[in-house]
Amino acid sequence: MNATLDITALQEEILRLKAERNALILAHNYQLPEVQDIADVLGDSLALARAAARTDADVIVFCGVHFMAETAAILNPDKVVLLPDLEAGCSLADSITADELRAWKAEHPGAVVVAYVNTSAEVKAESDYCCTSSNAVQVVQAIPEDKEILFLPDMFLGSYVQRVTGRKNMHIWMGECHVHAGIQPLQVQTVVKEHPRAELLVHPECGCSTSNMMLVAEGVLPAERTKILSTGGMLQHARQSQAEEFVVATEVGILHQMEKQNPGKRFIPANPDAVCPFMKKITLAKVRDALRENKHVITVPADIAARARTAIERMIAIG
């Protein structure tokens, strides 16, 4: 009971501070349930970037990870962007540096660089396009077929995009999200067998995504019940589907919204240990402190922001 009272009191204080500061709270689908519940906008990286681009709030509190707050700061140079915990990083974003990208570009002069949004501002500044899992296929399809493509940093999303688009001149950086990489094909097959009527929803960052596409082609997994989707796409599909059970292959934080939006339907994690420790860094107390004490202001140097903004705006415009 005391924990419930504490959560309620914190949420009420956050709402009061938010009104006083004309603030917007953005939260990713992987955040703690109580943080999701106080967000003005809850969504995947693309939805949150679009919300950041169009807001008239004075302050943006980003309940996500560092690269997301950087993206909001790039889109809103005149606003205060707060990240409640500076330790909310991303193993995938850390898998490539700007120096490494510059060296890769030197090996492929003239190639078009497509950077997943899970990258630092410096990497985005070296890129031609950004993308998210919701529009990566469409971004690659928007690039002339004769253009060589460098896709980074997620090898699983890159392999998925290459398979869907059929692009032969696409090079893929060998990075990964350690949480999604840990969701393995055998785990997925086992859970699907235990729930034979369930639909399978797979995030394309998962270590099992490309394998699952092959297993679908081979008839091991049911083609009509297997969907590879972004987190936003998963939520939308779960609402629209007539299925009553879903096996979900992504970070388990999304299950809170799935259950909240779909009473009566059942959602089973493909791997219940798929928990991102970085996404769970942000708590209600830290959100309150961010609003009360201006913790922690995220800024991007003007020259880097100017170069990165073009790639981000292309991402927002496509799909």
List the structure tokens of 112. Answer: 């078009």
Residue 130 marked ligand-binding: no
- Long-range contact pairs involving 158-163 (C-beta distance under 8 Å, separation at least 24): 159/209, 159/210, 160/136, 160/204, 160/209, 160/210, 160/213, 160/228, 161/136, 161/137, 161/204, 163/210, 163/213
Quote the CA–CA distance of 96 and 308 in Å, as a whole number.
Answer: 16
For residue 115, report the phi and psi dihedrals to the nearest 5 degrees: -105, 125
Packing angle, helices 209-217 and 155-165, rounded to 10 = 30
Alpha-carbon radius of gyration of the chain: 20
For 80-156, list the strands marked E by DSSP.
Answer: 80-82, 112-116, 129-131, 149-152
Residue 116 marked ligand-binding: yes
Residue 117 marked ligand-binding: yes
How is residue 225 annotated by DSSP?
G
Residue 208 marked ligand-binding: no
In terms of Cβ atoms closer than 10 Å to its own Cβ (0-12, 13-18, 19+), residue 180 is: buried
Residue 259 marked ligand-binding: no
Contact 77, 298 (CB under 8 A): no
Residue 301 marked ligand-binding: no
List the structure tokens of 55. Answer: 């807001």
Residue 28 marked ligand-binding: yes
Relative to beta strand 112-116, strand 149-152 is parallel
Residue 131 marked ligand-binding: no
Residue 177 marked ligand-binding: yes
Residue 250 marked ligand-binding: no
Residue 118 marked ligand-binding: yes
**Residue located via tokens 């309620």:** 8
Which residues contribute to the annotated binding site for [4Fe-4S] cluster? 90, 177, 276
Which residues contribute to the annotated binding site for iminosuccinate? 28, 45, 116-118, 133, 203-205, 231
Which residues contribute to the annotated binding site? 28, 45, 90, 116-118, 133, 177, 203-205, 231, 276
